[in-house]
Structure 1
Amino acid sequence: MIAIIAEKPSLARNIVAGLGQMNKKNGYFENSEYIVTWAFGHLFSLSDVEDYLPEDEKPKDGKQKWTMENLPCFPDNFTFKLKNGDDGVKKQFEVIKYLVNRADVTEIVNAGDSDREGEIIVRLCVKNALSAPKPFKRLWLPDQTPQTVKKAFLERKDESEYENLANEGFARTYVDWLYGVNLTRFVTLKTGSLLRVGRVIVPIVKTIYDRDTEIENFKPEVYYALVSSVETNGEIVELTSKYKFNKDEKKKAEICCERMNKLEAIVTDKKSKKETLAPGKLYSLTKLQNFLGKKYKMPMEKSLAIAQKLYENGYLSYPRTNSEYLATNEKSKFKEILESVKKLGYPVTFKDKKTIFDDSKIESHSALTPTYKIPSKKDLSEDEFTVYSSVLRRFVAVFCAEDCIAEK
């Protein structure tokens, strides 16, 4: 029996859809071969400053007490604890603990999201639940379609191959704690007001402050430019002179205008050429968010949430990617996806180009793309359709069978 631990319930349901019929139990699915259970994202969090104090110095009531005497806190070994105040978290962890320690379970599979955060979410569950070592594998899903789940499950690797990814995830978690917890407590105790300090929030606030200061201190300068609108062959052409005049040179600008208005402009030559315009690259998450923000005024947190939902529903590939390229080992998959897109009426064809497939430009995930599973418009909300169609149109542009010819 193989026990698979997904990062969240929605991923667990998609894994079940890929592996076959299973019976729903209390906190997991099961058939004769597999058990699929889930976490609720992070079930564990790093211990508080007070947890690292000697026993005789810990608060008697178990509550946090912020004091300067406890700062700075640099633990020799970081520890995690089950999140407090949520009975659902505790109950689900007990389910995971029971399942991984069942005698008939001979293998455990980490099915966290395919990133450093998903890697450590399930690792922490297994580390704190397992009473004796068992083979530990990793299910790596670039998307959540049944086809991908089946293929990825057959190709699952030993968890030890993802050690560096886990180290990266833990390192970020530790740095965030050291920076955020120590400085938040320090600044709050010094000022008497709760002021949150963090690795991300501080540079953002500093950037906003600098920009506000720049705007506040900006002093506009008046200058004169020479502009003229002329009708030529029924078309209005705006002529702009390269000359500019300071605010105290208005008279000089007027004299220059008079002189130019007495002259005629003659077009002596015109050149035109045809160019093949290259499509933009496939979207990374940031590039997609920038596009949606500029064209549709969609906030970044909203576009990320929608892309994540479309991923969980199997319509898009993994969204948290910083790459605009595809992996070479996915060529056969994209040939199949292109066949599905072609049925929608788009003139697409497979292109085996370095500008599209380049492993050297990929850290962990390929660019954002549609999957085999193509939704109908009625299945999506207006915003979901906006995000999905943006990714689909860019995918079609990259693999378009027809060149875009522009005359300049």
Structure 2
Amino acid sequence: MKLFIAEKPSLGRAIAEALPGPKKREEGYIRCGDDTWVSWCIGHLLEQAEPDAYDPAFKQWRLEHLPILPGEWQLQPKSGTRKQLTILRKLVKQADCLVHAGDPDREGQLLVDEVIAWLKVPAQKRASVQRCLISDLNPEAVRRALAQLKPNRDFVPLSTSALARSRADWLYGINLTRACTLQGQQSGYQGVLSVGRVQTPILGLVVRRDESIEVFVSKPFYEVLAQLETPAGERFQAKWQPSEACAAYQDEEGRVVSKALAENVIRRITDQPAHITQLNRKTKQQPAPLPYSLSALQIDAGKRYGMSAQQVLDTCQSLYEKHTLITYPRSDSRYLPEEHFARAERVVKAIRSTCPALTEAADGTDLHLRSKAWNDKKVDAHHAIIPTEKQASSTRLSANEQRLYELIARQYLMQFYSHWRYQDTEVILDIAGGCFIARARETLDSGWKVLFPSRQNDDDGDEPSQSALPPLQQGQTLHCLNGTLQEKMTQPPKHFTDATLLAAMTGIARYVKDPEIRKILRETDGLGTEATRAGIIELLFKRQYLMRQGKQILATPAGKGLINSLPESTTLPDMTAEWEAQLEAIKQREMPYAAFMQLLEQTLRQLIQQVTQTSIRLPAGASSPKSPVHRRRKTGRRTARAKKA
């Protein structure tokens, strides 16, 4: 008998539907014909045991107990899961062949593997376990996955990497939360001070941003625009570029802070000839943005619709599980398998049916075009989030479901549009000995940009001041009519929003000074994972370290006090970068699990010593989190998955 173990009931039902033979629903599983059964977990059925499971003395929080380092790790059934575990125990014992059907990511791999191990499946049977990778719940896609089973042993490094992260998070959170809480109590704070390997650096980002805004002093600076006229009477403007001789009148960003200097430039250039010393024209092209990963989608949806990261994740789960209109959403990939290209026509047909707003966009596709999105070398266990081949009526969808489906579908359709082609022109002029530059960008072929009319003049970081310039030639002499003074004020950094905080988490390298750490972070996915980021942000709100003001995210007094009391290394992303690099090395069989854990233990001892030598003082008005955070630290890892579908 063959037994499929899915990650959740909805996936189990999808597998059963795709299998041949009559179906019979039983309690906790489905019979498919005479020799195949499908059962499931309900998210994580097991969790790390509490410290007092290792030693009853650990029930009391005492500094002398730290660090708590389990000799033999113990798992325990999560609340309400024993019944399903009992069903799985019976089925696993009867089965001749097991098929692991966890979600196609690191946590999905560990989730089923740890159940198989906890049920003490014999080594011979464990060695023959097969792996089924499903990222689309529609029957045809599930049948394709069922026909492409792989040996589960191929995924041992992935599972080991997830196990290392799970245990490391437990060690880090349990020990530092206890150490900080006990130190806080000595200063009169009676709440729990929760510390986490990812959540604390994220909180540190927000605290440091808030503090930089609080101390920011706005100052004026000045720019000069030359108003130019060609012999034919056409007009445009060019911006003054201060020379090295002006350095004494500029700030550290190169902005002119002397109004008198700017006014003097205006007097010098008024009614003067302007000589074109250089004229550069470059034709460039830009391919369509790749299909979405979860973080990329969360950032876009946050900017466009003000949706929180958790709202996006929950809505995507509904589109995936309930409506089966999109592929697996917790993906960190923006690429697609090459074999998927052959199904493009059916996907576009489904988009046309499901989202009438994109009918014209779907009609404009050229399905012979193949963007760089199709690349097997960049697809691991899962691929980018795209629409499935299922056709449905959009009236069945909620407003947020419609919005996200349209975003995902539009991003997919862009892969079948030509490049955006444009011409950049830069004109360098000499006016009365001063250097002035005019830039323009002109679209030659909108390509995929026709799907975003409001973004026709988007650029890659340059700031063309105008969309077109009159016909000009190098060496030509123009007339400067006058100069215009622009008085501006320096602006403080902006408070984080859901979209910008997510962007900071995924692009965390730019917040790191150490070049080696920055390099590591550029090569990883940043702080947290696609599946955990939304949950971690929400957790910081739940623990009352963050609060919202409209769309802005700010740190609370408790959040600020905690960050300003902790050892700096716990509030920076550097250590997480090193962890992620090491976990990736475990996944690639380049680093043993034991070496990672040994390094972690050394770091823990050092951090605990630093905390115990620190006075943790929170400001008056800092409220204590209400949640029992000294128990299992939820990182958002499977909050949506743990619910029955």
Question: Under TM normalisation by the shorter chain, which class is it?
Answer: 0.7 to 0.9
Q: Deviations over 1:242-262 (max 9, x none)?
A: 459679843444344345444
Q: For residue 15 of structure 1, what is the aligned residue in structure 2?
A: 15
Kept in 2: contact 1:110–1:139 (CA 8 A): yes
CA distance in 2: counterparts of 1:229 and 1:290, whole angstroms: 39
CA contact under 8 A between 1:45 and 1:81: conserved in structure 2? yes
Q: After TM superposition, give the deviation of residue 196 of structure 1 in Å.
A: 0.6
Distance (Å, rounded) in 1 between the aligned partners of 2:176 and 2:257: 53
Higher relative contact order (CA 8 A, sep 6+): 2
The CA distance in 2 between the partners of 1:280 and 1:131, in whole Å, is 46
Equivalent position amino acid for 2:18 in 1? G
Aligned to 1:124: 114
Q: Does 1:115 align with 2:105?
A: yes
Equivalent of 1:162, from 155, 168, 173? 155
2:70 is aligned with 1:75: yes
Say if 1:125 and 1:250 are closer, same or farther in 2 by CA, change over 3 A: closer
Matched, 1:99 2:94: no
Query: Which letter does structure 2 place at the counterpart of 1:14?
Result: A
In the alignment, structure 1 residue 362 sits paired with structure 2 residue 363:
no
Name the SS of the counterpart of 2:90 in structure 1: helix
SS in structure 1 at match of 2:43: coil
Tell me, in whole angstroms, the C-alpha distance in 2 between the residues paired with 1:250 and 1:131: 79
In the alignment, which residue of structure 2 is the partner of 1:187?
A: 180
Post-superposition CA distance 1:1-59 (Å, at most 9, x none): 32212111221222222225522222222132322222111111111222222xxxx25
CA distance in 2, matches of 1:350, 1:167: 41
Q: Which residue of 2 aligns with 1:45?
A: 47
CA distance in 2 between counterparts of 1:45 and 1:248 reads: 59
Shift of 1:114: 0.9
Distance 2:209 2:277 in 1: 47
- Which residue of structure 2 aligns with residue 311 of structure 1? 320
User: Is the contact made by 1:143 and 1:316 (CA closer than 8 Å) also made in structure 2?
Assistant: yes
Partner-residue secondary structure (3-state), 1:101:
helix
Separation (CA, whole Å) in 2 of partners of 1:23 and 1:266: 85
Q: 3-state SS of the aligned residue for 1:187?
A: helix
Q: Provide the secondary structure at the position in 1 that maps to 2:313.
A: helix
Relative to structure 1, the CA distance from residue 263 to residue 389 in structure 2 (aligned partners, 3 Å threshold; closer, same or farther) is same
| CA RMSD across the alignment | 3.3
**Structure 2 residue 200 is the aligned partner of structure 1 residue 202:** yes
> Does the C-alpha gap of structure 1 residues 40 and 197 become closer, same or farther in structure 2, counting only changes over 3 Å?
same
Please state how far the C-alpha of 1:172 moved relative to its aligned partner. 0.8
Segment drifting more, 63-72 vs 1-10? 63-72
Tell which deviates more after alignment, 37-46 or 369-378.
Answer: 369-378
Query: How does 1:6-405 map onto structure 2 within 5 Å?
Result: 6-20=6-20, 21-32=22-33, 33-53=35-55, 58=56, 64-83=59-78, 86=79, 88-102=80-94, 105-130=95-120, 132=122, 134=125, 135-192=128-185, 193-227=191-225, 240-242=239-241, 249-263=258-272, 277-312=286-321, 313-334=323-344, 336-338=346-348, 340-341=350-351, 345-351=362-368, 353=370, 355-400=372-417, 404=420
- SS of the equivalent of 1:17 reads helix
CA distance in 1 between partners of 2:273 and 2:336 (Å): 56
Distance 1:283 1:44 in 2: 31
Other structure's SS at 2:82 match: helix
After superposition, what is the alpha-carbon deviation per residue over 1:94-134, rounded to whole angstroms, capped at 9, x for unaligned?
Answer: 121222223xx322221111111111111222222356553
Question: 2:335 touches 2:383 (CA, 8 Å); kept in 1?
Answer: yes
Whether the 8 Å contact between 2:47 and 2:77 is mirrored in structure 1 is yes
Would you say the 8 A contact 2:228–2:236 is kept in 1? yes
Residue 100 of structure 1 contacts residue 130 of structure 1 at CA under 8 Å; is this kept in 2?
Answer: no
- Give 1:227 shift: 4.7
| Contact 2:220–2:257 (CA under 8 A) maintained in structure 1 | no
Q: Aligned equivalents of 2:257 and 2:401: distance in 1? A: 55
Do 1:346 and 1:396's aligned partners in 2 also have CA atoms closer than 8 Å?
A: no
Alignment-derived partner of residue 519 in structure 2: none
8 A contact 1:292–1:387 mirrored in 2: yes
**Mean Cα displacement is larger for which, 253-262 or 146-155?**
253-262
**Within 1, Cα distance between the matches of 2:91 and 2:223?**
76
Shift of 1:228: 7.4
Task: Look up the match of 2:451.
Answer: none
- Matched residue of 2:59: which SS? coil
1:234/1:172 Cα in 2 relative to 1: closer, same or farther (>3 Å)? farther
**Cα-to-partner distance string for 1:270-298 (whole Å, 9 max, x where unaligned):** 99887655211222222222222222222
Unpaired segments ≥5 residues, structure 1: none
Matching residue's letter, 1:97: R
For 2:97, the aligned partner's letter is: E
Shift of 1:389: 1.1
* CA 1:228–1:186: 2 relative to 1, 3 Å: same
Contact 1:338 1:349 in 2 (8 A): no
Partners of 1:234 and 1:395 lie apart in 2 by 46
Change (3 A) 1:349 1:130: farther
Q: Is the CA contact 1:12–1:38 (under 8 Å) kept in the aligned structure 2?
A: yes
Contact 2:370 2:416 in 1 (8 A): no
Consecutive unaligned residues in structure 2, runs of 5 or more: 186-190, 251-255, 354-358, 422-442, 445-467, 469-645
Does the residue aligned with 2:39 lie in a helix, a strand or coil? strand
The amino acid that maps onto 1:30 is R
Q: Deviations over 1:192-229 (max 9, x none)?
A: 23111111111111212222222223232222333578
Offset of residue 179 of structure 1: 0.8
* Alpha-carbon distance between aligned partners in 2 of 1:231 and 1:302, rounded to the nearest angstrom: 53
Distance 1:174 1:282 in 2: 33
Q: Could you tell which deviates more after superposition, 354-363 or 246-255?
A: 246-255
- Which SS does the other structure have where 1:293 is aligned? helix
Q: 1:249 and 1:154 mapped to 2: Cα distance?
A: 72
Alpha carbons 1:342, 1:348 under 8 Å: kept: no
Larger mean Cα displacement after TM superposition, 339-348 or 125-134: 339-348
Between Structure 1 and Structure 2, how many residues are aligned?
395
Secondary structure at 2:363's aligned position in 1? coil
